């Protein structure tokens, strides 16, 4: 059984449908990347998983539970964490407070997980009492990912985690994603740096006009001439 | 000359404390609900008169009347929010703003209906001012300064140490992300009314202690309160404290040059100047 399965998802934000039949699944332990041209509905597909899209048709199943009409806070309790592409930190709050907010719905002791996040992102421990808005883009992305990990999710949703980052930080964030995955967290991500992401992902989907055109292992997609010409810049 | 400036500065800090308490609430409410709460001044008035009911009506000591007024003012604000503002939350902010102007008129009329239009005072006792380095300070003014200090410290501890306080800051900072991390936004809204109305009640009582009670007292101080909120950067409670002090001290110092009736004009001029030069406030960062 898949950890996450989307079947025939259609929907949008109330107006015309942006998703026109998306089918995708994430197996436990996988990194799955969604790539595709601008306006293909990549981020919308991601948001649909986190209950932020009006899903008109189709079904979402997570860990054996039908989550099609679930609201975000219930999904968070089930073990899904979401990192939006933009405005993904509380800029006026300290790094430490951002991580605490990530654990907002937890009523148990989360200090062990806090230490694990600081171990994963050592610069954050150093800057724990710094206002997050004062950090660099790469460090802010670490805060955003760290915040999402505070729930110890089974599935982490990352919307373009390297958008606007320097190549050095992009490499670092990708390394961290692989590390998080190795610790047992399944990952579904949207990524602009398609070639690089498909290089380490287990599988990938190419989304075009709100529907998936291709779906295969990362290596196969990279080797696919049609995909390469259309979406990976030759 | 120097003595006069020092004396007026001290009066300015007293007035600034009252303005700041109102401005903090206004700023918090704007940060969470994204509308300018025009009834805030009249919540102050209601608070002041509830304390009068405690002192003059029930014969309670001031501290007990203060507690009674806090409870009453907070309950009233939450009731108004749940009965009226909550229904309008999904509409445009300007509709909420106009609704709050209506609430302001209703509250003021109710106060006039119950307590009458005449000026009243908490106590007829003559207050002998103390003298510190030749600067005069009435006991009530000292109480206002201490009371404001205690409330600001309590607010700071609430916002930085408690789960609810942090959730409130998170929601003011980034409402979408607050929802993503599972913060119950309606609960935060109620807490914001509790804090905002509580501080407004305190400000109203302090204003009544410093001057006299009138049904229009809160409406008249609303302009300086707005000026302080904008000076501090709307939505920033800590900025509102500084903004209140600046407006209070500037208003008092202006009486050296202009007649005292122009005090509100000074606040208004500060607000306009700020909006022209730095609309994000003294500590605001341009977005």
* Cβ <8 Å between A77 and B163: no
Which pLDDT does position B287 carry in this prediction?
A: 45
pLDDT of A229 above 90? no
Instruction: Reduce the DSSP state of residue B243 to 3 states and report it.
Output: helix
pLDDT in tens, A28-64: 999 999 998 888 899 999 999 999 999 999 999 999 9
Which pLDDT does position B57 carry in this prediction?
A: 87
Contacts of B178 in chain A (CB under 8 A): 101
CB of A110 within 8 Å of a chain B CB? The answer is no
pTM for the full predicted model: 0.86
Q: Which residue has the higher pLDDT, B255 or A188?
A: A188
* Cβ <8 Å between A101 and B176: no
List of chain B residues with pLDDT < 70: 284-287
The Cα A149–Cα A144 span in angstroms is 9
The sign of the dihedral angle between the CA atoms of B140, B142, B146, B148 is positive
pLDDT in tens, A95-124: 999 999 999 998 899 999 999 999 999 999
pLDDT in tens, A148-175: 999 999 999 999 999 989 999 999 999 9
The Cα A99–Cα A101 span in angstroms is 5
The Cα A19–Cα A10 span in angstroms is 5
CB of B177 within 8 Å of a chain A CB? The answer is yes
Which pLDDT does position A233 carry in this prediction?
A: 59
Q: Which residue has the higher pLDDT, B147 or A193?
A: B147
Which pLDDT does position B285 carry in this prediction?
A: 59
Q: Retrieve residue A125's tokens.
A: 């421990």
ipTM > 0.90? no
Give the pLDDT mean for A129-144: 94
Q: What is the DSSP letter of A156?
A: E
* Angstroms from A82 CA to nearest CA on chain B: 7
Q: What are A215's strand-pairing partners? A: A205
The mean of the pLDDT values for chain A is 91
pLDDT range class, residue A234, cuts 50, 70, 90: very low
């Amino acid at each position: 059984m898949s950890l996450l399965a989307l079947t025939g998802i259609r929907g949008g934000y109330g107006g015309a449908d942006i998703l026109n039949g998306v089918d995708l699944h994430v197996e436990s332990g996988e990194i799955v990347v969604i790539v595709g041209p601008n306006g293909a509905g990549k981020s919308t597909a991601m948001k649909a998983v986190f209950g932020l899209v009006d899903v008109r048709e189709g079904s979402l199943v997570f860990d054996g539970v039908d989550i099609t009409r679930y609201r975000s806070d219930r999904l968070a309790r089930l073990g899904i964490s979401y990192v939006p592409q933009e405005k993904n930190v509380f800029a006026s709050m300290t790094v430490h407070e951002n991580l605490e907010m990530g654990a907002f719905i937890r009523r148990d002791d989360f200090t062990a997980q806090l230490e694990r996040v600081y171990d994963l992102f050592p610069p954050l421990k150093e800057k724990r009492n710094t206002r997050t808005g004062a950090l660099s883009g790469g460090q802010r992305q670490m805060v955003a990912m760290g915040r999402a990990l505070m729930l110890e999710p089974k599935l982490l949703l990352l919307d373009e985690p390297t958008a606007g980052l320097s190549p050095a930080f992009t490499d670092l964030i990708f390394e961290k994603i692989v590390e998080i995955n190795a610790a047992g967290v399944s990952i579904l991500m949207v990524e602009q740096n398609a070639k690089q992401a498909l290089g380490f992902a287990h599988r990938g989907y190419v989304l075009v006009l709100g529907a998936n055109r291709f779906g295969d292992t990362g290596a196969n997609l990279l080797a696919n001439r049609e995909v390469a010409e259309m979406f990976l810049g030759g | 000359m120097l003595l006069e400036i020092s004396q007026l500065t001290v009066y300015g800090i007293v007035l600034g404390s009252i303005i700041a308490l109102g401005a903090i609430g206004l700023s918090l409410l704007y940060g969470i609900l994204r509308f300018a709460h025009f009834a805030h001044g009249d919540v102050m008035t209601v608070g002041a008169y509830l304390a009068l009911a405690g002192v003059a009506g029930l014969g309670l000591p001031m501290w007990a009347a203060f507690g009674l007024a806090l409870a009453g003012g907070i309950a009233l604000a939450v009731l108004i929010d749940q009965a009226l503002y909550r229904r309008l939350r999904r509409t445009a902010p300007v509709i909420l703003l106009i609704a709050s102007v209506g609430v302001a008129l209703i509250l003021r009329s109710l106060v006039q209906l119950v307590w009458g239009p005449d000026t009243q005072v908490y106590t007829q006792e003559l207050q002998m001012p103390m003298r510190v380095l030749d600067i005069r300070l009435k006991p009530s003014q000292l109480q206002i300064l201490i009371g404001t200090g205690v409330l600001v410290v309590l607010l700071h501890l609430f916002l930085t140490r408690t789960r609810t306080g942090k959730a409130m800051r998170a929601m003011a900072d980034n409402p979408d992300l607050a929802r993503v991390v599972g913060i119950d936004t309606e609960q935060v809204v109620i807490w914001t009314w509790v804090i905002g109305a509580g501080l407004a009640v305190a400000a109203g009582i302090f204003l009544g202690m410093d001057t006299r009670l009138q049904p229009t007292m809160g409406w008249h101080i609303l302009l300086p309160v707005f000026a302080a909120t904008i000076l501090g950067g709307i939505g920033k409670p800590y900025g509102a404290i500084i903004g209140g002090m600046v407006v209070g001290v500037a208003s008092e110092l202006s009486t050296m040059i202009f007649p005292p009736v122009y005090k509100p004009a000074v606040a208004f001029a500060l607000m306009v100047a700020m909006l022209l030069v730095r609309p994000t406030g003294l500590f605001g960062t341009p977005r």
